[in-house]
């Protein structure tokens, strides 16, 4: 299996991927769901992290607000690589090995990712197939968690 991941590891690519995944129907305020959004510069410490200002409620937010990525100690690229590996049907054990994580952490991350990357909109975000560079990442099988779990835990032959 060819696991050439360089295109995904770049910070710019990571944030582009997050934006593509979470703003599928356009940028909307995580607080009031208003679509009256103005781009509001970039994050001071992460140059690729877009900030926004909501014209509806006046709050500021950014690409990671209300996502499972925010406030977590794992870097964004680790989350996205986890998602990428899930799309390749790697088992939690294989993902843990690829990312140098322990299996418990990997299991937690995979579980959260399967529920959707945006905590408040699990049914909207990551349902069905989303394009993630050269691969199709399948995530958020709402209503069929047991099918996903079975698939996710199934070892890949020859890997
Ligand atoms: Zn708002």
Distance 37 CA to ligand 1 centre (A): 8
CA of 27 to the centre of ligand 1 (A): 11
Helix (H, G, I), strand (E, B) or coil at 53: strand
Nearest to 103 by CA among 116, 90, 115: 90
Looking at residues 38-53, what average pLDDT do you find? Answer: 96
Q: Distance from the CA of 65 to the center of ligand 1, in angstroms?
A: 12
Whether 158 is covered by a domain: the verdict is no
Residue 106 located in a structural domain: yes
Instruction: Give the structural domain span for 138.
Output: 8-153
Cut 0.75: pTM above it: no
Query: What are 7-37's pLDDT values in tens digits?
Result: 567 889 899 999 999 998 999 999 999 999 9
Distance from the CA of 45 to the center of ligand 1, in angstroms? 24
- pLDDT at 140 > cutoff 50: no
Domain count, the chain: 1
Angle at 133 between CA 155 and CA 136, to 5 degrees: 45
Structural domain contains residue 22: yes
Residue 132 C-alpha to ligand 1 middle, in angstroms?
28
In a domain, 2, yes or no: no
């Amino acid at each position: 299996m060819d696991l050439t991941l360089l295109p995904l590891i770049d910070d710019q690519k990571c944030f582009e991927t997050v934006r593509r995944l979470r703003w599928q129907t356009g940028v909307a305020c995580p607080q009031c769901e208003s679509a009256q959004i103005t781009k509001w510069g970039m994050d001071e410490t992460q140059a690729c992290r877009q900030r926004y200002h909501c014209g509806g409620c006046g709050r500021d937010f950014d690409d990671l607000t209300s996502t499972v990525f925010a406030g977590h100690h794992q870097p964004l690229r680790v989350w996205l690589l986890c998602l990428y590996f899930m799309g390749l049907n790697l088992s939690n054990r294989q993902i843990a090995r690829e990312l140098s994580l322990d299996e418990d952490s990997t299991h937690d991350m995979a579980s959260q990712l399967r529920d959707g990357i945006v905590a408040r909109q699990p049914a909207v975000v990551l349902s069905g197939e989303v394009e993630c560079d050269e691969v199709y990442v399948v995530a958020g099988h709402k209503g069929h968690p047991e099918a996903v779990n079975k698939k996710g835990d199934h070892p890949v032959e020859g890997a």
